[in-house]
Amino acid sequence: MPKSKKSGERSSPTSIRNLREVPLPDKVDVNISGNTITVKGPKGQVERTFHFHEISVKKKDNKIIVESDSTRRKQKAMVGTIASHIQNMVTGVTQGFEYKMKVCYSHFPVQVSVVGNEVNIVNFLGEKKARKAKIIGNTKVEVKGDTLSVTGIDIESLGQTAANIEIATKIKEYDPRVFQDGIYITSKPA
């Protein structure tokens, strides 16, 4: 009976190259400096530091090439992850991202306002003290009636800001089947 291979052993003597390419549209400039990648475009600039081991990121012609010679599963997965993050950065500086949120209440009318880098939620469940949610980075939050629009170029800051707003209105001591009040994400970038 043949011996089974241990995890981490190579299946063949030749290395398998894992490669992903991210195309760069016109008007987008990418600067790679060590582990930091900066993407500049018509809507602004996004910078991100990646900690990647055995993975190389290069700019060639009009595309970013992310590759690894490693046969380890983790490095193969990280190639795709880093390529996706860079693609999100490129999309952010060219088109931008938007989250839509809805204010829902049935018992007490909720007032939502933006003050500085915080979203204030007043009269939530009749509470006298305002609940606050932090706005991350250069994210912009606009309140129009009972809808909120969270826009910006950094998808991670947008997602964290929307999550902060949603978590700020989390109900703890009431029956969630009766008290369904809150601010909820209705649409997010695809």
pLDDT in tens, 150-181: 999 999 999 999 999 999 999 888 887 888 88
Query: 18-94 with 97-187: one CATH topology?
Result: yes
Summarised one tens digit per residue, pLDDT across range 98-153 is: 999 999 988 789 999 999 999 999 999 888 999 999 999 999 999 999 999 999 99
Q: Kindly list the domain boundaries of the chain, sorted by start residue.
A: 18-94, 97-187
Q: Tell me which residue of 54, 64, 62, 52 sits closest to 89, measured CA to CA.
A: 64
* CATH class (in words) of the domain with range 18-94: alpha beta
* Average pLDDT over every residue of 16-45: 88
Outline where the chain has alpha helix (H). 73-94, 155-168
Quote the pTM value: 0.82
Angle at 126 between CA 157 and CA 176, to 5 degrees: 70
Instruction: Inform me whether the pLDDT recorded for 190 exceeds 80.
Output: no
Please state, in angstroms and rounded to a whole number, the distance separating the CA atoms of residues 72 and 56. 15
User: What does the pLDDT look like over 83-103, one tens digit per residue?
Assistant: 999 999 999 999 999 999 999
Alpha carbon distances (Å) from 95 to 57, 92, 154, 155, 180: 23, 6, 11, 11, 34
Q: Give Cβ neighbours of residue 123 (< 8 Å, ≥ 6 apart).
A: 108, 109, 110, 111
CATH class assigned to 97-187: alpha beta
